[in-house]
Amino acid sequence: MSAAEIPGWAHTYSGKVRDLYRPEDGDTGVLLVVASDRVSAFDHVLEPGIPGKGELLTSLSRWWFDHLPVPNHLIEPQRLPVEVERRAMLVRSLDMFPIECVVRGYLSGSGWAEYQQSQSVCGIGLPAGLTSGDRLPVPIFTPAFKAPMGEHDENITFARMIEIVGADAASELRTLSLDIFQRASTIAESKGVILADTKFEFGRDTDGVIRLADEVLTSDSSRYWDQEAWVAGVRGQSFDKQIVRDWLSAHWDGTGTPPPLPDEIVERTSARYAELLDRFTGA
């Protein structure tokens, strides 16, 4: 699943999930971010892709950008090439901070793993006796250093983040992340969905303004749980790609190339993504 040819646009970069393009006319301030159907887990891109995923995640990102009153990277109006219209966003090319701004409202994933070792996450001490899936007393900001392509992102302390981006940017990013998380959680709960954790990325524009970038609050960057199920005590039943992670954990020892995903897993994941979008947009 390689990057599409788009007349007028030069392909410049492919991440695990998205392909980036610049206009061929040389406008360096503009970027076209195209979400593919690729799915990644444990930092590996898997085969096959999930049909419709690029579109669903782009719709969900857009919905959230519309509902969050913070500066973002979208360029309006969105004049998009027809070839990729439904899975692309036209954005300002920002000077990105090399930080994944993770906020956790619940204990899960790498946060749960770290907690079991140290009763803390990214240097933030937590109460004793918590278990996987528990709600934290307050949401916490747990940054990760964005590793270069092919390497694992690394959880870091806030002190380390200050060394990387400076004290002013670090505290601004933390405040922004926690505010957006709080707002998004309230909106999600009104839809019967728990936002367990998420990751934001920010960059600075040419005027020095910090803008929310990348994808936002998608099921690739967030853990969403059904609220009713959580209240009933069900843990780990999520709208995100947990289905893929669980299947892979049970069928792959982590060495060599991951096995192809069975049709049934692909279909269930696709349906789950669609259901989440439906919860938010009612579309």
Residues contributing to the site for ligand ATP (CB under 6 A): 15-18, 20, 31, 33, 73, 91-94, 96, 149, 201, 203, 213-214
Tell me how far, at minimum, the Cβ of 146 lies from ligand ATP, in Å: 6
For ligand ATP, the closer of residues 57 and 188 by Cβ is 57
When the beta carbons of 136 and 173 are compared against ligand ATP, the nearer one is 173
Smallest separation, CB 202 to ligand ATP (Å):
9
CB of 272 to ligand ATP, least distance (A): 20
Q: Which C-beta is closer to ligand ATP: that of 108 or that of 221?
A: 221
User: For residues 257 and 229, is the Cβ–Cβ distance under 8 A?
Assistant: no
Give 227's contacts (C-beta < 8 A, 6+ positions apart). 189, 192, 193, 194
For the CB of residue 33, give the shortest distance to ligand ATP in the complex, in Å: 6
Nearer to ligand ATP among residue 55 and residue 201 (C-beta): 201
Please report, as a single letter, which amino acid is at residue 246.
Answer: D
Nearer to ligand ATP among residue 178 and residue 210 (C-beta): 210
Select 75 or 229, whichever has its Cβ closest to ligand ATP: 75
Here the tokens at position 268 are 């269930």
Distance, CA of 2 to CA of 253 (rounded, Å): 26
Radius of gyration of the chain (CA): 19
Beta carbon nearer to ligand ATP, 77 or 233: 77
CB atoms within 10 A of CB 250: 7
Minimum CB separation of residue 172 from ligand ATP in Å reads 17
Q: How far is the CB of 13 from ligand ATP (least distance, A)?
A: 7
> Closest Cα partner for 35 from 248, 260, 266, 216?
216
Return the C-alpha torsion angle 99, 74, 175, 97, nearest 10.
20
Summarize the chain as % helix, strand, coil (round to 5). Answer: 35, 30, 40
Identify which of 6, 68, 48 has the alpha carbon closest to the alpha carbon of residue 215.
Answer: 68
Give φ, ψ of 14 to 5 degrees: -125, 125
Closest-approach residue to ligand ATP (CB): 15
**Shortest distance, position 260 Cβ to ligand ATP, whole Å:** 20
Task: Give CA angle at 120 (119, 124), nearest 5°.
Answer: 150
